Amino acid sequence: MFLQRGPEDGGAEEEEEEESIGGRQASRGHRASGAVLLSLGSLQVDMSFVSCALRVAAPRRLPAPWRSPRPYSTTTGPTAEKSVPYQKTLKDESNGSTGPSQLPPASAEVVVIGGGSLGCQTTYHLAKMGITSVVLLERDRLTAGTTWHTAGLLWQLRPSDVEVELLAHTRDVVSRELPAETGLHTGWVQNGGLFIASNKQRLDEYKRLMSLGKVYGVESHVLTPAQTKELYPLMNVDDLYGTLYVPKDGTMDPAGTCSTLARAAAARGATIIENCPVTGIQVRTDDFGVKRVHAVETAHGTIQTPCVVNCAGVWARALGRLAGVHVPLVAMHHAYVVTERIEGIQNMPNVRDHDASVYLRLQGDALSVGGYESNPIFWEEVSEKFAFSLFDLDWDVFMQHIQGAINRVPVLEKTGIKSTVCGPESFTADHKPLMGEAPEVRGFFLGCGFNSAGMMLGGGCGKELAHWIIHGRPEKDMYGYDIRQGCAGTRWGAWEWVSRQYLCHSPHPLRSWNQLGPWL
């Protein structure tokens, strides 16, 4: 995408007219030169070579925070044909059934609510630890909501030692454990990961990560710009201080991973029920005045249970209210785009350029381009009837990622956009997941608020949550995730963390304890 400065001489402005294309509003200016220019503040973007999908979507204005999402199945614009790489496995196999995949049992030891990454991982690990009377309830189908459109990246190195261990277990589950147990391929692709350092502070951070990785057996190497160019010939390395290369990083397929987890859990005695929405949670007070979970009410029957696990993602707040539990998270728009074919990109590692706030995920012979938004948009009205749907992508918010990607891989300047993905994600005030038993109600556990990291942390956190439920405590030191710590200022704390996610962070940042401001 060619960027050029707009006219600074105060010339006459071109008249614009609005035209509707497949339900979308496209801005069309004067085209005497044959180029379409998208104004972006003081910048203008030459859109003449970009695909039709991008040209139609690009001029959209910033949507109001309360704007309802566009249904995937009814969109007729040019991006509707293929919005995410997993459309075929997640969308086209629907049989149109509205009834449950099976009737819920009368009772269960544990009921897990939510069939995304955390719900499937927790159910699998509970069954593996011997809890065969476990039921997983999904309102629609597995991966509905947020998991189905996730990028599926797995980076093995994080600033926290505990998270390095959690990530290692996730990788082991998807790359070795599940294929050996089921004979099925989860969609794991090991193509490596490359962290970009464009200043000395960032390179020092990566050296610390490399040292931490050595302790836990994670192979990594600090590369010079010349070595980076040899590894990734399409990359611009002129502004680099170095890179951190982790050869055993990779990507996961959310559909393949969750379906394999469900099969493995069912083989161990777990019950997986799709199309079974939860309508209520019964809570009773015992003789000592302690509130405890008693049962889960669904549209197709009631399940008596002493334990409920809230893995409902962006709907975790609403589910918590059914039991009188406050779940401090908010939903925001989170996006990426998939490019058209790029010659020579095959087998390249995934790239994360923190200072440019962008990642590049290998997608066959193309790239997925995304990152954490510097001005994220809240999803104010979280719809109950939202499964495989997407928002319109706001290019004013997303353009920073496009510019960062072009700087790092210049060939993207002349590469079209095949599809756009903008879906909901849940975020917390300190950018840490919410796990453990809720202080308000005994037997009500949380596994939600993963800040767009639910796939990569899912295996490790699912195992810890299962151990927490069975033994009353996790195996690892999970204090950073424990819901009982409390967290003030959820709404704007979460907004701030998303906008500064790619800054250099300490291994254990201070929680927002004792901050002024109401819980949201």
Q: How many CB atoms lie within 10 A of CB 493?
A: 22
The per-residue pLDDT for 438 is 97
- Residues 436, 317, single domain; the answer is yes
In-domain check, residue 410: no
- Residues 134, 18, single domain; the answer is no
- Residues 323, 439, single domain; the answer is yes
In-domain check, residue 404: no
Q: Which of 18, 39, 57 is the last residue of a domain?
A: 57
Please state, in angstroms and rounded to a whole number, the distance separating the CA atoms of residues 266 and 418. Answer: 37
- Residues 129, 265, single domain; the answer is yes
In-domain check, residue 344: no
Task: Compute the residue count for the chain.
Answer: 520
Q: 501: Cβ–Cβ under 8 A, 6 or more apart, which residues?
A: 357, 372, 431
Tens-digit pLDDT profile for residues 252-272: 999 999 999 999 999 999 999
Chain centre distance of CA 438: 24
The per-residue pLDDT for 97 is 56
Q: What is the CATH number of the domain that holds 131?
A: 3.50.50.60
- Residues 128, 9, single domain; the answer is no
Please state, in angstroms and rounded to a whole number, the distance separating the CA atoms of residues 455 and 51. Answer: 30
Nearest to 377 by CA among 336, 346, 331, 417: 331
The per-residue pLDDT for 508 is 52
- Residues 53, 118, single domain; the answer is no
- Residues 141, 260, single domain; the answer is yes
- Residues 145, 271, single domain; the answer is yes
Question: At 16, phi and psi to the nearest 5?
Answer: -120, 150
In-domain check, residue 315: yes
Q: What is the pTM of this model?
A: 0.79
Tens-digit pLDDT profile for residues 43-92: 333 433 333 333 333 333 323 332 333 333 333 333 333 344 444 333 33
Helix axes 454-471, 117-128, angle to 10 degrees: 40
- Exposure of 13 by Cβ count < 10 A (0-12 exposed, 13-18 middle, 19+ buried)? exposed
In-domain check, residue 281: yes
The per-residue pLDDT for 93 is 40
Looking only at the bridges linking them, the beta strands covering 434-437 and 444-448 are antiparallel
In-domain check, residue 260: yes
- Exposure of 504 by Cβ count < 10 A (0-12 exposed, 13-18 middle, 19+ buried)? middle
Structure tokens at 238: 């002129």
pLDDT tens, residue order, the chain (520 aa): 333 333 334 443 333 333 332 333 333 333 333 333 333 333 333 433 333 333 333 333 323 332 333 333 333 333 333 344 444 333 334 444 578 899 999 999 999 999 999 999 999 999 999 999 999 999 999 999 999 999 999 999 999 999 999 999 999 999 999 999 999 999 999 999 999 999 999 999 999 999 999 999 999 999 999 999 999 999 999 999 999 999 999 999 999 999 999 999 999 999 999 999 999 999 999 999 999 999 999 999 999 999 999 999 999 999 999 999 999 999 989 999 999 999 999 999 999 999 999 999 999 999 999 998 877 888 777 777 778 989 999 998 899 899 999 999 999 999 999 999 999 999 898 889 999 999 999 999 999 999 999 999 999 999 999 999 999 999 999 999 999 886 554 544 444 544 455 555 555 555 444 444 444 4
In-domain check, residue 243: no
The per-residue pLDDT for 98 is 73
The per-residue pLDDT for 431 is 84
SS3 call for 236 = coil
SS3 call for 328 = coil
Chain centre distance of CA 113: 18
The per-residue pLDDT for 77 is 32
Q: How many CB atoms lie within 10 A of CB 383?
A: 13
SS3 call for 457 = helix
Number of domains in the chain: 2
In-domain check, residue 415: no
Helix axes 254-267, 117-128, angle to 10 degrees: 30
- Domain extent at residue 124: 110-149+254-329+429-491
Nearest to 278 by CA among 296, 264, 294, 293: 296
Nearest to 266 by CA among 186, 182, 173, 170: 182
- Residues 436, 313, single domain; the answer is yes
Contact between 277 and 315 (Cβ < 8 Å): no
- Residues 26, 134, single domain; the answer is no
Tens-digit pLDDT profile for residues 3-44: 333 333 444 333 333 333 233 333 333 333 333 333 333 333
- Residues 302, 441, single domain; the answer is yes
